[in-house]
Amino acid sequence: MNILITNDDGISSSGIKALEKELGKKHNTYLIAPLKERSVTSMALTVFQSMRVERINDNHYIADGFPVDCVNIGLYAEIFPKIDLVLSGINRGVNMGYDVHYSGTVGAAKHGGLHGLPSLAVSSGRIDPEDGYEREAKLVGLFLDSYVTKILPGEVWNMNFPPEIGGSGGLDQLTFVRLGRRRYTEKYDKTNIIEGVSEFQLNGSLLGHDQETGTDFEAYYAGKIPVTPIQLDLTDSNRLSLLAG
């Protein structure tokens, strides 16, 4: 299987290196990643200007752009053979609930789905672990062995790994759940520059979530590995049916 691998943490991140090393044992891997960190860029795409892309070798490229740019180039710039699966990650930090709307990791996978490919976004609650995300990469490999044929063309699945996995620490803790409701509390620092001009710096977000059953949050904090199929059609069908009468 030909797998296109990208991320939003940048080419030098340990998560993407771990994925390539593990999946390269059984599959043909083609890596194209942003030159620098591009977190929280959602589905941003470079238009109206050129973008520098560096070839390392036939299977490795660096793009001075966004994660979606990387997927687009990998699919349409004729640098790789025909791709069978788009894989984005392993992200340094989780992407659960409404995070999927902001995440560059999930955005890259969504772009693969929009272009008809089965796509998977992978994130971890471990931050810079000593094993370089080897644990997650091995489990992703096992997950694909069992489930890759179930990810249909155009589907996007979102997977998150907790710091401590319950049970045997393996795929026995995998669970398919819906997205929860993330709650954000934002804080800005303001610096006055000149009269009428200020700089605003987002100084972190306080993250919370609703306490609901059957969600990725509930599963994650119970030591399970939540996986959620993401629907790209944003139509509120229930509301539409009511309005249409």
Residue 59 amino acid letter: N
Alpha-carbon span 189 to 169, nearest angstrom: 41
Amino acid residing at 160: N
**65-90: b (≥16 Cβ within 10 Å) or e:** bbbbbbbbbbbeeeebeebebbbbbb
Q: Say if residue 72 carries a ligand binding annotation.
A: no
Written as six digits, the tokens of 139 are 């489990």
Rounded to whole angstroms, what are the CA distances from 184 to 101, 129, 133, 159? Answer: 13, 26, 27, 21
| Phi and psi at residue 183, to the nearest 5° | -120, 130
Does the annotation list 8 as a binding residue? Answer: yes
Answer yes or no: is 91 a known binding residue: yes
Is 57 annotated as a binding-site member? Answer: no
Handedness of CA 203, 225, 10, 84 (dihedral sign): negative
Binding residues for a divalent metal cation: 8-9, 39, 91
Binding residues: 8-9, 39, 91
